[in-house]
Amino acid sequence: MKRSSKIAIWVIAVVVIIAGAAWFVHQDSQAPTKETQKSSQVKKARQKKAESKSAATKATSKQSSSASSSSSAAGSSAVASVAKAAPQQLDQVKANAGGTYSDITATAKGDSTVVYTMTLAKALDKNTDKSALKTVLVKALLPAINQARKTQPGVVLKVVLKNPDSTEVVNDVISQQDIDEEVQ
């Protein structure tokens, strides 16, 4: 081989090695750190929760409007049976809460919604974090929620928390994500 060919091959080899090293360094600098991954996971979870709430609200409003315009006896009776079966579990929830609630009821609304209404024994502070409160309510209602889902798959569950004077503190749909967060 000619000397110029050997030099050209060496130059090309060095360029390839340098380019490969530069690519590797670039990829390594682009890799997220554990903190970045955690923060992006938290952001994604918050975004999913917001999307879930939005979807649940839309589903509830669609179901409310369709329930008022047409009624299905089969769906209505299934939801009514869920509400009728709830008192036993709700009495247990009330007993476990140690006097926190003066009353807990389950009511069928329309063809596919069960509303759990929980009345507090003592009024809450106006500055109470409502999202944290919803988490506590879902956790407390989990046995009743699981039974409702077994009895009537696809049932929409809603929780209403009231102060003793009947002012609403929380009025929210319980999403699958809310339930999943409590199971984990």
> What is the extent of the structural domain holding 156?
72-183
151 in a domain, yes or no? yes
Contacts of 182 (CB under 8 A, 6+ apart): 135, 138, 139, 142
12 in a domain, yes or no? no
Amino acid letter at 151? T
107 in a domain, yes or no? yes
Cβ contact 143:116 at 8 Å: no
Query: Structural domain tally of the chain?
Result: 1
Closest Cα to residue 120, out of 166, 171, 158? 166
Q: Please give the residue that has the higher pLDDT: either 55 or 4.
A: 4
Residue whose structure tokens are 């994604």: 44
CA–CA separation, 175 vs 10, rounded Å? 64
104 in a domain, yes or no? yes
119 in a domain, yes or no? yes
Q: What is the pLDDT of residues 141-162, one digit of tens each?
A: 888 888 888 888 888 889 999 9
Q: What is the pLDDT of residues 47-70, one digit of tens each?
A: 665 565 555 555 444 444 443 333
21 in a domain, yes or no? no
46 in a domain, yes or no? no
- Cα 167 to its chain centre, rounded Å, is 25
13 in a domain, yes or no? no
Cβ contact 134:159 at 8 Å: yes
172 torsion bin: left (phi>0), alpha (psi -120 to 50), beta (else)? beta
Cβ contact 174:159 at 8 Å: yes
Q: Which two tokens stand for residue 27?
A: 């990829």
pTM for the model: 0.56
Kindly state the DSSP code that residue 153 receives in the 8-state scheme.
T
CATH value at residue 170: 3.30.70
pLDDT of 35 higher than 80 = no
